[in-house]
Chains A and B, each alone.
Chain A
Amino acid sequence: MLAGDAEILTRCELPIEVEDDVVVVRRKVKLLAQQRGFDAFATAGVTTATSELTRNVWMHARRGTALIEEILDDGRIGLRVELRDSGPGIPDVPRVLAGGYSTARSLGLGLSGSRRLVDELEIETEVGRGTTVRMVKWTKF
């Protein structure tokens, strides 16, 4: 579990049930990031990563949950976002994460691209059972 020892300061759970929820979830993340003092670039990074992953849930599972937490660990404050679904799962994670430059319409780019926007990202997935993606972005100060 990403930053499992961290203290949870705030917690917010949002459903992913309609396409508009992608925007709702990312707006919440953007708001929290700005409040916590992330600069424009860091905010855009964590918000866009959230948008990518939430859209993945919508596109591939049509239903899921977003869990957004502000966490504190070792004096640093971070934003932890978890996207969870009971969808088809991801068959070949290493290949998907290898991503790279691509303009192809694929699950891979969203995931590999998002990893570069945040500090930590982990994926739990099982074909036929579902996927949970967790990421953390820490404040610089």
Chain B
Amino acid sequence: MTRPDPLARLNLDDHELVSRRSFFAIGTDDLERLAALRPFAEQHTDAIIDAFYEMLLAHPETRKFFPDETSVRRVKRVQRDYFLGLFGGVCDRAYAENRARVGATHEHIAMAPKWYLGAYRRYLELLHERLYAHFADPAEANLAYQSAQKLVFFDMSIAIDTYISANIDAIRRHQAAIRELSTPVIRVHDRVLLLPLVGTVDSGRAHQIMETVLTRVTDEQAKVIILDIAGVPVVDTKVAQHLLQTTAAVKLVGARTILTGISAQVARTIVQLGVDISAMDTVSRLQDGIELALAHVGKAITAKGA
């Protein structure tokens, strides 16, 4: 499976990158300062990562994210790369992509933002301690710390964007699942589909029914689709219009619609309302509709031994 571009999903194009760097006040002087500190970083990275993980392992709720030594070692490796990345001297597209992937990893372990925000805080605390120990001049230490802090905040913004976009994706998937469940299209025979409609059909649902019907008819190249409305409690002018529209759309893609389940009551209502549904094939019983549909694809149901 190819890795999707994490930045595209976040709408993080070059324009946005420039804008974000500017808003976080990340300049070339910051990046150069951090690049110059690379040897310092390499010297301290193991100790910082260890201290960082001590905190995670000490806290009961974060400890459960690291069930065994292997998982701890693996994630420490990722964190080491993350930490050293701060001193790469760049904040470009590749850098942002890398940060977005770290964000994606977090979401896979189902880590809520509060955990990694708390973790970033600890990182900064550890970095602060060591920078001030490293530089003789506190003013220089402060400059270095400010630069690192800017980059860490930039990273947090990307991690949070990733987390949010993953949630949106999950919601979309759920919505699609709900739509599927409420419009169960059944394959009755080769190139014959059946959709039993149950429940009220308002314009929102009608909208979605037309789309599902059209998609299934074309996906399966079904010549006929039977819409059974026996389970629709109210069939008024609006519902009739929706059904007519769906029938017209199905005709455009080259298939045919048969409406079944029309009770005496519904037949009376439709005629009295003056709705002209003569453009649709209609029958009262579902089985008649099925026989009609089969005839349309050149098939018929015959009695055994006949």
Contacts and interface: CB of A to CB of B under 8 A. Distances in A.
A141 B211 contact: no
Nearest to B168: A141
B17 to A, nearest CB: 14
Size bracket, chain A contacts: under 10
B28 interface: no
10 contacts: A35-B8, A35-B11, A37-B168, A37-B172, A41-B211, A140-B175, A141-B168, A141-B171, A141-B172, A141-B175
Contacts of B171: 141
Interface in A31-45: 35, 37, 41
Contacts of A141: 168, 171-172, 175
A68 B11 CA distance: 16
Nearest to B210: A41
Interface string B1-29: 00000001001000000000000000000
A133 B171 CA distance: 33
Interface in A51-82: none
A47 B198 CA distance: 33
A35 B11 CA distance: 8
Given A35-B11, A141-B171, 7 more contacts: A35-B8, A37-B168, A37-B172, A140-B175, A141-B168, A141-B172, A141-B175
Q: Say whether chain A's binding surface is mostly helix, strand, loop, or mixed.
A: loop
Contacts of A41: 211
Nearest to A140: B175
Contacts of B11: 35
Nearest to A9: B11
Contacts of A35: 8, 11
A9 to B, nearest CB: 8
Nearest to B211: A41
Nearest to A35: B11
Interface string B142-183: 000000000000000000000000001001100100000000
A140 B11 CA distance: 18
Ranked 6 nearest A-B pairs via Cβ: A41-B211, A141-B171, A141-B172, A35-B11, A37-B172, A141-B175
Contacts of B172: 37, 141
A72 to B, nearest CB: 12
Contacts of A140: 175
A37 B170 CA distance: 13
Nearest to B214: A41
Interface string A1-42: 000000000000000000000000000000000010100010
A140 B8 CA distance: 20
A136 B171 CA distance: 23
B277 to A, nearest CB: 16
Interface in B266-281: none
A37 B175 CA distance: 13
A140 B174 CA distance: 13
B220 to A, nearest CB: 17
B215 to A, nearest CB: 8
A141 B211 CA distance: 18
Contacts of B8: 35
